[in-house]
Structure 1
Amino acid sequence: MKSPLFRDPIYDGAADPVVIWNRQVKEWWMIYTNRRATVEGPRFGWVHGTDLGVASSSDGGSTWLYRGILEGLETEWGRNTFWAPEIIWHEGLYHMYVTYVHGVPKDWTGKARIRHYTSPDLIHWEFLSTLGISEENVIDACVYRLPNGTFRMWFKQRNHTFAAESNDLYEWQPIGPVITERGHEGPNVFRLGGYYWMIVDEWRGQGVFRSDDLTAWERNGLILDQPGKREDDGTIGLHADVVVQGEEGYIFYFTHPGRVDGHHEESNHYEWRRSSIQVAKLEVVNGVLICDRDMEFELNLREED
């Protein structure tokens, strides 16, 4: 499998990908945080002021073409910040829940909220609301439909994972903390190999939790914590999305290839800022989620209904 899978050709800072089938044009689309790795400026300004980048694949995910940014998301004057989209398809509409920060802070001082948009085609988006799920900073939404038809959202609050529920994807009620172990962000929930799984970005790899009912979660290990051998894959795997088709699971994540000795968000060094999107195969072996990022495989995502 090609490595890296994708690099943003404008800012070279692709991160936080979500991968979804575009039913209108019959392509797989990757929508991602478009960090401005090539832009100089003070402190953490480069991770703010971000649009959502778009890449498409017409060959099942093997190759990706940069297409631009999502436009029409702004609802107020000025330059603002969009992070970590979550997109699901339901009853003829795409629903996007995206982190929004007012302006372009140079520090981690911006007040983050999760916004809800809908679209018929992944291009033209209508802003509906800012979710009132917390009075505090909240980021990194993940949505999964429960067996009873209710939708559950997991998100980062105070460096832990909290949740909210909705019957219709529009009105959300908070239900409290879910994962309160070591600090983390970027929850992602999926079903594979007979279990429900949640992965969270612990900034040392992806923490793994397993569940039978999407309510009680048991720690199940750590993946993407050891360096890989592929190009641009020699550091920990960060903020990931998972696509499951039948019994096959694939994890899309990003790396900072230049950070072989830790985090350097505040640095002006381009090699420490740039990022690459990677993909690896997931397997469930004896009830444990396994990811061998060096394993050879062919990615061939199929069309979805």
Structure 2
Amino acid sequence: MIAALTMMAAAASGPLAPKPLFRDPVHDGAADASTVYDAKAKEWVIFYTNRRANIPREDAKDVRWVHGTAIGVARSKDGAQWTYGGTANIPTACTGETLWAPEVQWLKGRWHMWLTVVPGVFRDWNAPRFIVHLTSPDLKSWTCGEKLDLKSDRVIDASVLALPAKGKKAGGYRLFFNDERQSKAIVTADSDDLIHWTVKDRLTQTPGEGPKAFRWKGRYWLISDAWKGLLVMRSDDGQAWTTQPGHILASAGAQPTDRAKGQHPDIVVAGNRAYIIYFVHQEGEDAAKADPEYYRRTVLQIAELKEKDGVISIDREAPVHVRLKP
């Protein structure tokens, strides 16, 4: 009887996510996740930057391993157990050799992807970067759209938020992105049609990247990677933002594969719950003691967000029973 009740309770609480949640089997450099539900296939899909973390480099300044990157794909029926699904079929006609930080959403009756492109493989960070918009009917075949005009030659890491309606008028959309020409601040741009964007405001005064905007518990939220943990901002209307003091996931975790700060978040909202998928460098692992290059490897982890009085917190040590809803 006790065993049966235990099994029922476990089933009701959702499957337990492993640590790590996902590890890329080719280059061991999964990062920058974007997670969506594919209703046709009845499964969850993660698109991620497929860093080439296990290839040799000439010296410590050689960053070609984070260039030449494809967009990896992982799939799951329950949001806890993930399998590798190869790489996304991204057309080269509008992109380049280096693809970073996909942002995938279902909007206006089709799938959209905003993708950071670096046109080449570079030994250093001195290269142009831009954001391209693509669309798809099925998350498998992608069609080139426009290159976004964001008034800078160094823009990365798109996140798109549907804004609230203004009376009888649709609210439009807001793009959050990193502009490296503005001290790597998070900047916004607005659009009525998801094609034409008008650059608006510099949202942060401190540098950061990987913004993720979402709506949860009656508020709008923005979580971004400040390189010393994740910066949290909240808004009641999607316009005026308040910055939460400190940073979440700033301290290394205690469990294997999670022993470094959390980086570049993705958020999956499931009813009243919300889960964060973040990546972690592997410098804290035992393998890094023998291999000084092992720290370049990155894995995806998951944790549940908690909110109280407008403040978000995360316990990365707590078991995560994933209860996702399509």
Whether TM-score is above 0.5 comes out as yes
Residues in 2 aligned to 1:229 and 1:286: alpha-carbon distance in whole angstroms: 28
Equivalence for 2:220: 196
Q: Which amino acid aligns with 1:51?
A: A
Residues in 1 aligned to 2:134 and 2:214: alpha-carbon distance in whole angstroms: 22
TM-score normalized by the length of structure 2 = 0.86
Change (3 A) 1:173 1:249: same
Q: Which amino acid aligns with 2:128?
A: K
Contact 1:146 1:214 in 2 (8 A): yes
* Pair 1:284-2:303 in alignment: no
Moved over 3 A (4+): none
Contact 2:214 2:222 in 1 (8 A): yes
User: Once the 2 structures are TM-superposed, how far is the Cα of residue 69 of structure 1 from its aligned partner?
Assistant: 0.3
* Pair 1:167-2:181 in alignment: no
Which is richer in helix?
2
1:244-255 equivalent positions in 2, closer than 5 A: 244-255=269-280
Change (3 A) 1:25 1:288: same
* Pair 1:55-2:74 in alignment: yes
Q: Which amino acid aligns with 1:62?
A: A
* Count of residues paired in the alignment: 293
1:1-305 equivalent positions in 2, closer than 5 A: 1-42=17-58, 43-58=62-77, 60-75=78-93, 80-148=97-165, 149-158=171-180, 159-180=184-205, 182-221=206-245, 222-258=247-283, 269-303=292-326
Residues in 2 aligned to 1:8 and 1:205: alpha-carbon distance in whole angstroms: 23
Contact 2:215 2:221 in 1 (8 A): yes
Contact 1:201 1:238 in 2 (8 A): yes
User: Once the 2 structures are TM-superposed, how far is the Cα of residue 200 of structure 1 from its aligned partner?
Assistant: 1.1
Q: CA RMSD in A?
A: 1.6
Residues in 2 aligned to 1:228 and 1:112: alpha-carbon distance in whole angstroms: 32
Residues in 1 aligned to 2:300 and 2:90: alpha-carbon distance in whole angstroms: 25
DSSP-derived class of the 1:272 partner:
helix
Identity of aligned residues (%): 40
Please list the CA deviations of residues 31-52 of structure 1 after superposition, one character each: whole Å capped at 9, or x if unmatched: 0000001111340000011000
User: Once the 2 structures are TM-superposed, how far is the Cα of residue 76 of structure 1 from its aligned partner?
Assistant: 6.6
User: Once the 2 structures are TM-superposed, how far is the Cα of residue 259 of structure 1 from its aligned partner?
Assistant: 5.2
Residues in 2 aligned to 1:188 and 1:279: alpha-carbon distance in whole angstroms: 15
Q: Which amino acid aligns with 2:74?
A: A
Please list the CA deviations of residues 85-126 of structure 1 after superposition, one character each: whole Å capped at 9, or x if unmatched: 001101321110000000101100110000000000111000
Contact 2:186 2:207 in 1 (8 A): no
DSSP-derived class of the 1:214 partner:
coil
DSSP-derived class of the 1:223 partner:
coil
User: Once the 2 structures are TM-superposed, how far is the Cα of residue 258 of structure 1 from its aligned partner?
Assistant: 1.4
Residues in 2 aligned to 1:112 and 1:210: alpha-carbon distance in whole angstroms: 28
Contact 1:161 1:185 in 2 (8 A): yes
User: Once the 2 structures are TM-superposed, how far is the Cα of residue 133 of structure 1 from its aligned partner?
Assistant: 1.3
Change (3 A) 1:229 1:115: same
Residues in 2 aligned to 1:210 and 1:302: alpha-carbon distance in whole angstroms: 24
Change (3 A) 1:297 1:135: closer
DSSP-derived class of the 1:8 partner:
coil
User: Once the 2 structures are TM-superposed, how far is the Cα of residue 5 of structure 1 from its aligned partner?
Assistant: 0.3
Contact 1:192 1:284 in 2 (8 A): no
Contact 1:88 1:94 in 2 (8 A): yes
TM-score normalized by the length of structure 1 = 0.92
DSSP-derived class of the 1:258 partner:
coil
Change (3 A) 1:129 1:5: same
Q: Which has the larger radius of gyration?
A: 2
Contact 2:302 2:320 in 1 (8 A): no
Q: Which amino acid aligns with 2:55?
A: V
What 5-or-longer segments of structure 1 have no aligned partner? 261-267
Please list the CA deviations of residues 159-178 of structure 1 after superposition, one character each: whole Å capped at 9, or x if unmatched: 10111111111111111311
DSSP-derived class of the 1:46 partner:
helix
Residues in 1 aligned to 2:94 and 2:148: alpha-carbon distance in whole angstroms: 17
